[in-house]
Amino acid sequence: MDIKKVWQIALRGVRETFSNRNLLLIMIAAPLALTLVIGAAFSKFLNKTSDIPIDSISMAVVNHDTGTDVVLGPFTQHFKLGQNVVDSLVKPTSASLAKLINATEMNEADALKAVNTGKVAAALIIPADFSATFDLGKPTIGHSTLRLVRDAGAPLSASIVSSITHGITDGLTGSFVMMFAARDSDPALYAALGPKLGALSADLQKQLQGDAPIAVKSGSLSGQQPVTNNPLQYFAPAMAIFFALFTATNGAAAIFEEKENGTLQRLLLSPTSRVTILVGQLGTVFGNGLFQMVVLMLLMPLIGVVLGSQSSVWGTNLIGLALMTLCTALAATGLGTLIVGLSRTKQQAVTLASVVPTTLGVLGGAFFDISGVGGPFAVLSKLSLNTWATSGYRTLAMTGDLGAVLPNLAVLLGMFAVFFGIGVIGFSRQLDV
Amino acid sequence: MTPIVEVRGLKKRYPPTGESKEGNLAVKGIDLTLERGEIFSLLGPNGAGKTTTINMMSGLIAPTEGDVLIDGHSIVKEPLTVKRVIGVVPQEIALYAQISARQNLEFFGKMYGLGGASLAKRVDEVLDFIGLTDRQRDKIESYSGGMKRRVNIGVGLLHKPKLVFMDEPTVGVDPQSRRNILDTIKTLNQEGMTVLYTTHYMEEAEELSDRIGIIDHGQLIAIGKEGDLIQKVGEMDTILIKVGDQAEQASAVVRTVAGIESATVEDGGLVKLLTGRGRQALPGVIRALDGAGVLPQSIEVREPNLETVFLSLTGRALRD
């Protein structure tokens, strides 16, 4: 393969794309305009408020905790700390937590099913020995592991659930560390606690919801930033990805046009290997998608300015954004390759190049936020690369956490591998003239 | 000197379709040799297999059987080496319409391994050769059909090929552009380039070619110089004399003229004479008619041409 020629072939295609004013209108102006319209509909222009708070994140809680007896001198109290955690999530007394989380207690099988079907963003599974971990009759605090099963398709919601859970467990641990410390360093104080053991459980409950480090009372994620949703953080990537898919699929289908125009034959008549031509053609598709995404990423924040949004549209994790953009462009290229590979005629390719991105766009929430949608739609939406890419960008913008979007990146790369693997054979067949 | 092209047992069968379960055998075994520096025309009607043959010779499609050696290299085994030696001017305009002539030439030049200053110089030379230096930066889509044809040819010449395949480059062009293309081919040949030219226009083959191959139904049915081909089919010159009511009398008179093989009366007062050399026999025919008091209304000498050869070989006209 001649890399220099691959570059030349790809570059020529990208140049031609970006010298076509009509195409540019579709590639750049259309997503910007639509994002402006949709962004305005969800922002202060219509809602008289700034960024919209996130609420009602569905989660499941599974409690296997059997509880433990804490013996303090003559007093014995049966603690069910797992139930404390369940109650603090299912029946929160804090208004902000109640608004943020919609937790349901269920058995483990149902909870896992709910995660798999996208009905809940995450399931917290409390082990049987949870309370025993904090048995004050033992020399030290024990060790127990809570499992948080996350829906990879809803990384942001799962991330919020994770933060809240950590906050609760941190709060619990902190309280008991204090009690263990009191037990060991100030026996008098510890003994005085005995009569109050009965009230301790209730105090813990209050503490979990009131003073936990997660600062649920202030409705914040980490105690620093308010949990809000800038609609542009969803719709800007959603639109960019939606249109990038059109660019990629139509760009790939353009090989039929090259065939019709005879320019593909002319390439094949030159001393250039078929692999070089194939990779060069796909390079055009990838380059167009990448270039379009980058241009949109640069221009979308202007819409944020117009709409008066205070938070960044894309966030500040540049490495995460670069990786997400690269993987999205690759997945889009894979899809384009697949469409051409499956098409026998130009008409078929053109039709598929319109229908497939539209379908994936609807499934992937190009026009409405699907992060709170459950049921069969949530399952189907996971088949759309738009879902993974959009939620990845959104998570990056809101949390800046690269780790949280690793599943998204992996899925996008996986989609690229599968689409490309299936499509490339058929695509290379298009070089037979 | 070794021939520049040696075609050996070249066959092409296309994959089966609904219409042809075995697949169409478009080329049925062609053997051909091209000498360096000649213009060879492959003459045949539409669908005869000219383009399929040229596509196999240029490595665009793989032969079902046989091989082509170009400058000593096999198109089957060393396609990239062969493609450096040949230039191809396809029948259709094969250019990127959204970019300029210069950008097209530069792009395809890079595909032939040219680059930097040498590419820029060569592009300048080609633009000058095809007469489009002034319009080099205009987009192809703004060009006339003739101008596009010239760029189409220019792309095929960028890398200074030893051999150029031209597949019916004058189809659908105006007379002026056609003249321009034919003159270009002659110039290229004078500069030492070997040209394989396919056409279904007899006049072009006659004007350009050192040798001609007549192809029909995927088979090369005759190869040679124009005169040799005519001689080969044994066709005679025809003299047609229109004399009206005096046809019978005229027929009897001219039959005795030296060199006239036969004389027959045709419909419409026409006398048809067959002769080995029509132009030489003509003065004697006129003298005989004059002596008999027959006044010809018109006289036409028809010499056999490639059309006649094709008709004789296939029983069909070239343009059927």
Nearest residue of A to residue B95, measured between CA atoms: A263
Could you tell me the pTM of the whole model? 0.67
Enumerate residues 86 to 105 of chain B having a beta carbon within 8 A of any beta carbon in chain A.
88, 90, 92-99
**Torsional sign, CA A369, A371, A376, A380:** positive
User: In Å, how far is A276's CA from the nearest CA of chain B?
Assistant: 10
Give the Cα-Cα-Cα angle B263, B266, B269 (nearest 5 degrees).
Answer: 105
For residue B283, give the 3-state DSSP assignment. helix
* Interface predicted TM-score of the whole assembly (ipTM), two decimals: 0.79
Q: Do B80 and A269 touch (CB under 8 A)?
A: no
Which residue among A263, A269, A272 sits closest to B95, beta carbon to beta carbon? A263
The one-letter amino acid at B142: S
Q: What token pair was written down for B61?
A: 């499609």
Tell me the DSSP string of A387-401: HHHHHHHHHHHHH--
Residue A203's CB is within 10 A of a number of other CB atoms, namely: 12
Contact, A377 vs A370, CB < 8 A? yes
Nearest to A266 among B59, B90, B110 (CB): B90
For chain A, say whether B171 makes contact (Cβ under 8 Å).
no
With CA atoms as reference, the chain A residue closest to B103 would be A12
Element of type H or E holding A210: helix A197-210
Local structure of B95: helix, strand or coil: coil
Angle between helices B116-129 and B101-111 (to 10 degrees): 130
Contact A269 B83 (CB under 8 A): yes
Stated as kind and residue range, the H or E segment containing B230 is helix B226-233
Q: How far does B98 lie from chain A, in Å, by closest CA?
A: 7
Asked if A273's CB is within 8 angstroms of B111's CB, the reply is: no
- The answer to whether A334 and A422 have CB atoms below 8 angstroms apart is no
Chain A residue at shortest CA distance from B99? A16
The pLDDT tens digits along chain A (433 residues) read 788 889 989 888 888 887 777 878 878 877 778 777 777 766 554 444 444 456 678 889 999 988 887 766 666 777 788 888 888 888 877 777 777 788 889 998 998 888 887 788 888 888 888 888 777 777 777 777 888 887 776 666 777 777 777 777 777 777 777 777 767 776 666 666 655 555 555 555 555 554 433 333 333 333 334 445 567 777 888 888 888 888 888 877 788 888 888 898 999 999 988 888 888 888 888 888 888 888 888 888 887 777 776 667 788 889 999 999 999 999 999 988 888 888 888 888 888 888 888 888 888 877 777 766 666 777 788 888 888 898 888 888 877 788 888 888 999 999 999 988 888 787 777 666 6
Amino acid letter, B238: T
Which of A9, A15, A273 has the CB atom closest to B80's CB atom? Answer: A273
Cβ pair A271:B108 closer than 8 A: no
Cβ–Cβ pairs < 8 A, chains A and B: 64
Q: How far is B231 from chain A (nearest CA, A)?
A: 38
Q: What is d(CA A325, CA A315) in angstroms, rounded to the nearest whole number?
A: 13
Nearest to B83 among A4, A5, A271 (CB): A271
